[in-house]
Amino acid sequence: MTIENPRVLLIDSYDSFTFNLASLCKQSIPNCIIYIIKNDAFTIPELLPFLSFFSAVIVGPGPGSPENDQDVGLIKDLWNLPERSLLPIFGVCLGLQSLSVAYGAQLRRLEVVKHGQISRIQHAEDALFDGVGMVDAVRYHSLHVVPVEGGPMEELAWTEDENGHVVMAVKHTVKPFWAVQYHPESVCTRGGGLEVIQNFWRLAQDWSRKVGRQATTWNNAVGKAVGDPWPCYPFPSAQPTPSEPRPTVTTAVLDLPHMAAETVCEFFGVLDEESPFVCLDSAAQPGRFSIIGSLMQTSLQITHFVGDAFITLMQGRHSTQEKLGRRDVWTWLGDFMARKRACGGHQDIPFWGGLIGLLSYELGVHSLNVLLNQDHRKGQHPDLNLIFVERSVVIDSTTGRVFVQSLIPDDSWIADTTCTLLSASQTSKSIPPSGKPSHLNPVVRLPDKSLYLARIHEAKERIFAGDSYELCLTARTSVSFPKVFPIFGSTSWRRYQALRTKNPAPYSAYIRLHPTTLISSSPERFLSTSRPPNPVFHLRPIKGTVRKGPGITRAVAEEALVGSTKEVAENLMIVDLIRHDLHAIVGEDVQVKQFCVVEEYETVWQLVSVIEGRLAPGIYGASDPDSQLGWEMLKRSLPPGSMTGAPKKRSVEILQTLEDHERSIYSGVFGYWCVGGGSDWSVTIRSCFKFEDSSNSSSDMEHWDMGAGGAITALSNADAEWDEMLVKLNSVVGAFTSCI
Ligand SMILES: C=C(O[C@@H]1C=C(C(=O)O)C=C[C@H]1O)C(=O)O
Ligand SMILES: NC(=O)CC[C@H](N)C(=O)O
């Protein structure tokens, strides 16, 4: 008889750290194979025939209430399985609440809600906590249960806090059901994670042995119904690796320590407002490389609107549409970049040529399968706007080297550009004059303060009800100026220079891709992927902001950020969310490289964490997933967790009801996808954008939009959140006018 690997069915109540739990199970249950289903994918009668194939079920956490059928789906019926279908079940948070309520417990709201906070847990040394000493566990809950006395649920662990006595673990005294209220899979849980799942597995095996239960031999029909095991990724149209040799990148390397990105931009025609232009500008640490495209009439611009069944391709004035057919836009992009793969670029730089541009927040919302709020949706401007860059200059601010490179064979442009840059560096070493804040009396339209405060209260109410742990609430501001004559040159470029001077940032950018112009001073990297083979996925979420000012030294900022339960909780929740996004694709190897470190920026101190994921070798079999997988990673992790809150899907749905505008470019991402296979995307914050369309071209005023906001948690103070929003806004608006 062959012994099969244990199969565990994990029930996902919509993206509440589910993949973190999957990873913890994988570490705790030797050789297990994990299948994940949504809680509404089946009804219990539909699921029953499949349960015998599994050794155990894990019921994950989730937003909402165990008393709301839509929140728990099939979970509520798991606790009354017919005797012949009974199997060991372990519940987490919503799972514990659902189990307890099924056996008569009262469900109550916590007086003091706990999200992303650590509590000391006491336990009764039951077998579930065998060998477990002290437990410091992360909690994510607004609700809690009070089991009925003398009922079948036995309390195994608890905590004492401002709420009094709160149940933290239970077991059914007869059936093989165990559950914890805290989150064993959180990165900051100590003591009650791995060990408790290991104990559950031991108890589950003991119970199965005792009752003579053995999982039925696997059968492919079950696999068809429940899907592939985690981690899985379909390659809908993975292209075979091209048989012809890949084109080679040609590069000239110059030693020009004083060459400024702005100088190169001006050589490449940034002042011609009519032409497209892209510059990803590392204007401050930890940014290192600045990437400037030298675009041509024939450069291919790719645009797409959410919901459209086609992609638009433009070369100069010539435009065509290509149907997506059965592909989605991400697969289309993956196929496109697979055809463009090149080799031989300089190994010291991350970009050799490729796509540069921006992706809207709504593109990410659509990828989450959340319906866009049609009342706000204008949909007039592309949600995806990228240009294929064949000629570029990369400046390495650390070594002072400048790389002039082209994807076009025998391109004389390299020699010409090298000469131009060399002579420019000899004649003038100075940076072109920076733009100054406008004296044209801009009109600034701030969000309505009382409405914003009311929205914060609504957000908190949703949090208290258990629907979200954290909501990144934002609002839109607009700035308008009288239009100036072209004689003053490109106004948007001068505005960018003013912003760069006022708020130099690691992920600054000037991107002009008709009809959108983005000027950015973003401090936040979203997702970078190193060049294959063995790509490393790297994310740097920011949560926690303190305004810089007299007396606000690093020590003061650290006290206000690292020393604050509220700020660390905000950051931790996003770290756990991003771990979940990464685990979804890469499988187990996700590490928090930096947790809650204070970093200094021009106008603010920020609390920053760093998370990295690596693909296990051969995880996706023999296919060459490089280009497809990178886009899939982007698709599955947008919108950036730091701009949504957690759990992501429910939080995005709530935010759609709390915000008055589509976010558009704000809260999306901008960056590049290199022909060498690497990519780097930043979060579009501390940025503003304008659209060159009928509304902007027909009036005498030039309009810029920008967004700003912050994480709302149960601990938020509405006035302080309003001030924090203004601090972020000022880092941008202050470049145009005196501060608001
Ligand atoms: C929402 C913004 O920033 C986000 C929210 C932050 C916070 O709540 O501290 C910090 C960085 C960003 O992830 C913004 O800049 O508009
Ligand atoms: N993390 C969870 O599963 C939360 C459960 C429930 N929504 C609560 O807030 O209490």
- Which tokens go with 265? 């931009």
| Distance in angstroms (rounded) separating the CA atoms of residues 336 and 627 | 9
Ligand 2 atom, smallest distance to 71 CA:
7
**Rounded to the nearest whole angstrom, what is the distance from the C-alpha of residue 230 to the centroid of ligand 2?**
24
What pairs with residue 539 in β-bridges? 527, 611
Q: Which residue among 96, 97, 167, 183 is best mutated to probe the pocket of ligand 2, counting the most ligand atoms within 8 A of its Cβ?
A: 97
Alpha helices in 33-127 (DSSP H): 44-51, 69-72, 75-78, 94-102
**pLDDT, tens digit (0-9, with 9 covering 90-100), for 296-306:** 999 999 999 99
Q: One-letter amino acid identity for 516?
A: T
Closest ligand to residue 17's CA: 2
What is each CA distance from 303 to 320, 516, 656, in whole angstroms? 11, 11, 24
**Are 679 and 637 contacting, i.e. CB atoms less than 8 angstroms apart?**
no
7-226 and 250-370+385-733, same CATH topology: no
- Closest residue by CA, ligand 2 atom 3: 61
* Distance, C-alpha 564 to centroid of its chain: 24
DSSP annotation string for 640-684 = PGGGTEESHHHHHHHHHHH-SS--TTTTSEEEEEETTS-EEEEE-
- Helix and strand numbers (H, E) in the chain are 19, 33
Alpha helices in 248-304 (DSSP H): 261-267
Ligand 1 atom, smallest distance to 666 CA:
16
Closest ligand to residue 75's CA: 2
Which residues neighbour 577 within 8 Å (Cβ) at sequence distance 6 or greater? Answer: 17, 641, 646, 647, 648
Q: Select from 271, 276, 413, 244 the least CA-distant residue to 340.
A: 244
Ligand 1 atom, smallest distance to 574 CA:
13
| Distance in angstroms (rounded) separating the CA atoms of residues 606 and 727 | 12
Q: Is the dihedral of CA 261, 673, 381, 315 positive or negative?
A: positive
Ligand 1 atom, smallest distance to 541 CA:
13
**Rounded to the nearest whole angstrom, what is the distance from the C-alpha of residue 12 to the centroid of ligand 2?**
13
| Distance in angstroms (rounded) separating the CA atoms of residues 208 and 51 | 14
**Rounded to the nearest whole angstrom, what is the distance from the C-alpha of residue 644 to the centroid of ligand 1?**
10
Closest ligand to residue 60's CA: 2
Q: Select from 405, 466, 398, 427 the least CA-distant residue to 651.
A: 466
| Distance in angstroms (rounded) separating the CA atoms of residues 84 and 314 | 63
Q: One-letter amino acid identity for 30?
A: P
Please indicate whether residue 462, judged by its CB atom, sits closer than 6 Å to ligand 2. Answer: no
**Rounded to the nearest whole angstrom, what is the distance from the C-alpha of residue 137 to the centroid of ligand 2?**
15
Closest ligand to residue 181's CA: 2
| Residue at token pair 């490109």 | 490
Q: One-letter amino acid identity for 657?
A: T
Burial 649-675, CB ≥16 within 10 A → b, else e? bbbbbbbbebbebbbbbbbbbbbbbbb
Q: Specify the DSSP class assigned to residue 734.
A: T
| Distance in angstroms (rounded) separating the CA atoms of residues 537 and 726 | 32
**Are 579 and 648 contacting, i.e. CB atoms less than 8 angstroms apart?**
no
Q: What is the pLDDT of residue 357?
A: 98
**Are 180 and 192 contacting, i.e. CB atoms less than 8 angstroms apart?**
yes
Q: Which residue among 94, 100, 146, 461 is best mutated to probe the pocket of ligand 2, counting the most ligand atoms within 8 A of its Cβ?
A: 94
**Are 563 and 603 contacting, i.e. CB atoms less than 8 angstroms apart?**
no
Which residues neighbour 309 within 8 Å (Cβ) at sequence distance 6 or greater? Answer: 323, 324
Which residues neighbour 312 within 8 Å (Cβ) at sequence distance 6 or greater? Answer: 302, 303, 304, 319, 320, 321, 322, 382
Q: What is the pLDDT of residue 248?
A: 94
Provide block-wise average pLDDT over 10 residues at a time, the chain (740 residues).
84 95 97 97 96 97 97 97 96 98 97 97 96 96 96 97 97 98 98 96 98 94 92 61 78 95 94 94 92 96 96 94 94 92 95 98 96 83 97 97 97 96 74 49 91 98 97 95 61 90 94 96 95 90 92 95 96 97 94 97 93 81 62 93 96 96 96 95 96 72 92 96 94 74
Largest Cα–Cα separation, the chain: 89
Burial of 198 (0-12, 13-18, 19+ CB in 10 A): middle
Rounded to two decimals, the pTM is 0.95
What is each CA distance from 259 to 398, 399, 405, 522, in whole angstroms? 12, 11, 16, 22
Q: What is the pLDDT of residue 317?
A: 87
- Closest residue by CA, ligand 1 atom 10: 543
Closest ligand to residue 643's CA: 1
Q: What is the pLDDT of residue 237?
A: 47
| Distance in angstroms (rounded) separating the CA atoms of residues 616 and 551 | 47
Domain ranges of the chain: 7-226, 250-370+385-733
- Which tokens go with 728? 């972020």
What is each CA distance from 77 to 40, 64, 147, 148, 333, in whole angstroms? 12, 17, 18, 19, 42
Q: What is the pLDDT of residue 437?
A: 46
Q: Select from 371, 374, 411 the least CA-distant residue to 391.
A: 411
- Which tokens go with 333? 């992009």
Half-sphere exposure of 212 (CA within 13 A, CB side): 1
Q: Which residue among 93, 113, 145, 460 is best mutated to probe the pocket of ligand 2, counting the most ligand atoms within 8 A of its Cβ?
A: 93
**Rounded to the nearest whole angstrom, what is the distance from the C-alpha of residue 69 to the centroid of ligand 2?**
14
- What phi and psi values does residue 109 have, to the nearest 5 degrees? -85, 145
Q: What is the pLDDT of residue 240?
A: 52
Task: For residue 214, count other CB atoms closer than 10 A to its CB.
Answer: 10
**Are 620 and 608 contacting, i.e. CB atoms less than 8 angstroms apart?**
no
Ligand 2 atom, smallest distance to 92 CA:
3
- Closest residue by CA, ligand 1 atom 14: 708
- Closest residue by CA, ligand 1 atom 6: 543
Ligand 2 atom, smallest distance to 110 CA:
10
Ligand 1 atom, smallest distance to 607 CA:
9
- What phi and psi values does residue 548 have, to the nearest 5 degrees? -80, 150
Secondary structure of residue 85 in the 3-state scheme:
helix
Secondary structure of residue 414 in the 3-state scheme:
helix
Q: Is the dihedral of CA 78, 82, 83, 87 positive or negative?
A: negative
| Distance in angstroms (rounded) separating the CA atoms of residues 466 and 455 | 17
What is each CA distance from 702 to 211, 442, 444, 475, 735, in whole angstroms? 75, 10, 12, 20, 15
- Closest residue by CA, ligand 1 atom 3: 710
Angle at 631 between CA 630 and CA 632, to 5 degrees: 90
Q: Select from 91, 108, 98 the least CA-distant residue to 69.
A: 98
Q: Specify the DSSP class assigned to residue 44.
A: H
Beta strands in 17-172 (DSSP E): 33-38, 56-59, 89-92, 106-123, 135-146, 153-161, 164-172
CATH of 250-370+385-733, one of 3.60.120.10, 1.10.287.610, 3.20.20.150, 3.40.1050.10: 3.60.120.10
Q: What is the pLDDT of residue 246?
A: 84
**Rounded to the nearest whole angstrom, what is the distance from the C-alpha of residue 307 to the centroid of ligand 1?**
28
**Rounded to the nearest whole angstrom, what is the distance from the C-alpha of residue 63 to the centroid of ligand 2?**
5
Please indicate whether residue 141, judged by its CB atom, sits closer than 6 Å to ligand 2. Answer: yes
**Rounded to the nearest whole angstrom, what is the distance from the C-alpha of residue 475 to the centroid of ligand 1?**
12
Domain spanning 7-226: CATH superfamily: Class I glutamine amidotransferase (GATase) domain (3.40.50.880)
Residues within a 6 A CB radius of ligand 1: 472, 474, 524, 542-545, 642-643, 685-686, 707-711, 728
- Closest residue by CA, ligand 2 atom 5: 94
Active-site residue list: 93, 183, 185
**Rounded to the nearest whole angstrom, what is the distance from the C-alpha of residue 613 to the centroid of ligand 1?**
23
Closest ligand to residue 92's CA: 2
DSSP annotation string for 52-69 = TT-SEEEE---SS-TT-H
**Are 102 and 145 contacting, i.e. CB atoms less than 8 angstroms apart?**
no
Q: One-letter amino acid identity for 142?
A: S
Q: Which residue among 18, 21, 140, 467 is best mutated to probe the pocket of ligand 2, counting the most ligand atoms within 8 A of its Cβ?
A: 140
| Distance in angstroms (rounded) separating the CA atoms of residues 338 and 342 | 9
Burial of 236 (0-12, 13-18, 19+ CB in 10 A): middle
Q: What is the pLDDT of residue 632?
A: 87
Q: Select from 719, 306, 654 the least CA-distant residue to 459.
A: 654
**Are 10 and 197 contacting, i.e. CB atoms less than 8 angstroms apart?**
no
**Rounded to the nearest whole angstrom, what is the distance from the C-alpha of residue 131 to the centroid of ligand 2?**
27
| Distance in angstroms (rounded) separating the CA atoms of residues 369 and 236 | 18
Please indicate whether residue 94, judged by its CB atom, sits closer than 6 Å to ligand 2. Answer: yes
